[in-house]
A and B are shown apart, each in its own frame.
Chain A
């Protein structure tokens, strides 16, 4: 007899009790921690080469021996200062061979030549003042001062560095999602595409642009952009997302053949079925009521 899978309940957030309200509120709040841009900057500066296992014990042994030598050799009138490193000057760094290594089903072995993200040529222009400026912009956004944050990002977005590229995109995102200024956000993204063709955020910019066109009711333009996107890099990297948008727009226009085709392609690309419910329901309704 086949074992049936349990039927999972609906999520707490979909209810109307205290738990649901708390979860919904908590998920709407911004997360603490660095922005993606800050995290990436820091990651780029790290070495990804795994340290051989013998190095840390050898270093520890060497330091201990040196400390002992210093202790023994110093005159009595000049006792040594603290031998240990200042705790608060010491960053918490990960061990190269983690004590609890990730346990994917795949075999986990150190690669012979671990990949190291090489320096982006545009990133050479980024300097610490820019990073702290972007950090200030991020703090403004976290504090809910979205208009000020957008202005701040606009100031950082001068020049041709990667920081400028990222700042301009952040400005567009704030305008679109926090300030409700879709038209302004679209204009910012157009500027982004002009100033940074082939930049690191090209696919994100294109996708966000398509979403905004749709939100502004410019469905024909959005569909054209989707068809163009499907032919290029955007289609290869985010084909599923594009098909979801295509299904949504086509169903709104009453083109159910296209909508259902797009929904099918979206599912094949791995899109979550919940994202296709609205467009499929719309077409099902039209099929039942021609």
Chain B
């Protein structure tokens, strides 16, 4: 069966990146189309709450557009994109925690930002709760390996650590994830 070509399975070619740097709107649009879903998926799986997902995704692409001329292409574009997503996910989660604290302290101000929207599936919510039990380092490796399908080598390039470190974190993450599922978290 012919598999649908996932937009980012093949990394963005140098030609497309060159056209982006040259300022071609079509190229920017093409880049955004190819990687929007990837960024959205990674950010959500890394624990960015749905209420902050749109902003976080926007920030990722603002960073891409802003820093692409300086991207030296020693790594794949996708690797670089994942690094930006990891960074933005950290910032967004921190911001979401502050908002959550604020809304609890001032309940009359507005709706609870930590509410899960109704348009996210049950399995996704359950998965998010289980992944939330992992440490930051374990979560990154778990999401990139189990959900995004990166290899150990690719993850090592993204987080700039040896493969042995990735392997150990994945092992720990799996144990904690499985335990969280059994506890029904």
* Residues of B participating in the A interface, judged by any CB pair closer than 8 Å: 1-5, 9-11, 13, 15-16, 20-21, 23, 25-26, 28-30, 32-33, 36-37, 40-41, 44, 50, 52-55, 57-59, 61-63, 65-76, 80, 83-84, 87-88, 90-91, 95, 102, 109-110, 117, 119-121, 123-124, 126-127, 130, 145-147, 149, 151-153, 160, 163-164, 167, 170, 174, 177-178, 181-182
Contact = CB atoms under 8 A, between A and B. Distances in A.
A215 B87 CA distance: 40
Interface residues of A, number: 84
Nearest to A241: B5
A237 B20 contact: no
A195 interface: no
Contacts of A33: 40, 44, 50, 53-54, 57
Contacts of A120: 25-26, 29
A176 to B, nearest CB: 9
Interface string A35-46: 010011011001
A223 interface: no
A200 to B, nearest CB: 5
Best-buried of A92, A120, A272 by chain B (most CB within 10 Å) = A92
Contact of B91 (A28, A100, A201): A100
Given A19-B178, A36-B36, A117-B65, A98 B87 contact: yes
A74 interface: no
Contacts of B88: 98, 102
Interface stretch (A8-16, A128-136, A146-154, A185-193): A8-16
Given A33-B40, A39-B32, A270-B10, A108 B87 contact: no
Nearest to A271: B10
B162 to A, nearest CB: 9
B23 A115 contact: yes
Contacts of A68: none
A239 B110 CA distance: 50
26 contacts: A5-B153, A6-B163, A18-B181, A23-B127, A26-B127, A32-B50, A33-B53, A39-B32, A48-B62, A88-B110, A91-B55, A103-B160, A104-B83, A115-B68, A116-B65, A117-B65, A118-B25, A120-B25, A139-B119, A200-B29, A200-B30, A237-B30, A240-B10, A241-B5, A241-B10, A275-B3
Nearest to B142: A12
Contact of A104 (B52, B66, B71): B71
A40 B37 CA distance: 12
B66 A114 contact: yes
Contacts of A249: 2
Interface string A168-181: 00000000010000
A18 B179 CA distance: 11
A103 B83 contact: yes
Contacts of B149: 11
A207 B71 CA distance: 28
A26 B123 CA distance: 5
A12 B145 CA distance: 9
A231 interface: no
A107 B72 contact: yes
A232 B181 CA distance: 50
A94 interface: yes
A111 interface: yes
Nearest to A113: B69
Contacts of A201: 33
Contacts of B127: 22-23, 26
A248 B32 CA distance: 28
Nearest to B28: A117
Given A5-B163, A26-B124, A248-B2, A50 B66 contact: yes
Contact of B152 (A6, A108, A111, A240): A6
Given A23-B146, A117-B25, A118-B23, A245 B2 contact: yes
Given A6-B167, A27-B147, A120-B25, A46 B58 contact: yes
Interface string A193-228: 000000011011001000100110000000000000
A66 interface: no
Contacts of A42: 54, 58
A42 B36 CA distance: 13
Contacts of A36: 32-33, 36-37
